[in-house]
Amino acid sequence: MENYFAPVLTDDQLRSISSIGLAHMGDAVFEILVRTWLCAHGKATGKGLHQATIHLVCAESQAEKAERILPLLTEEELSVFKRGRNAQVRTVPGHVSRAQYGEATALEALFGWLYLKGRKERVNELFCKMMEE
């Protein structure tokens, strides 16, 4: 691969990435989407941008927003989501339940998988559904 701004991995390459690896990628994808959304909607300025970002990318918020898109997932996407939810994480932050952390990890794994698969339009579609008020 030579263009890391627009990755497209094969199915074999994607299968070789652990759930935690997919979640690692998806965490970055989700955060950049949140930051873009906040800037584009004028939701916060200055220090408030950082606080608003933290609020939206925390595990509790991600878990709640993940519930909104579950009915929209294809079988393949749901399989990736479940794979992420079942990832073996060693530590869970004290302020979040293990179930919430699992849902947040699942969402991040899904977003990482879609991004690395080159399905940015689908990531955006799901993100927009999650952010509807």
Spell 14-33 as b/e; 16+ CB within 10 A means b.
beebebbbbbebbbebbeeb
Assessment of whether the complete model's pTM goes beyond 0.85: yes
Q: Please give the average per-residue pLDDT across 86-103, as a whole number.
A: 81
Q: Please give the average per-residue pLDDT across 67-78, as a whole number.
A: 96
Active-site residue flag, 12: no
Say what the alpha-carbon torsion angle 45, 124, 114, 52 is, to the nearest 10 degrees: 20
Whether 133 has a pLDDT exceeding 80, the answer reads no
The model's confidence at residue 95, banded by pLDDT at 50, 70 and 90, is confident
Selected catalytic residue, list 27, 77, 103, 108: 27
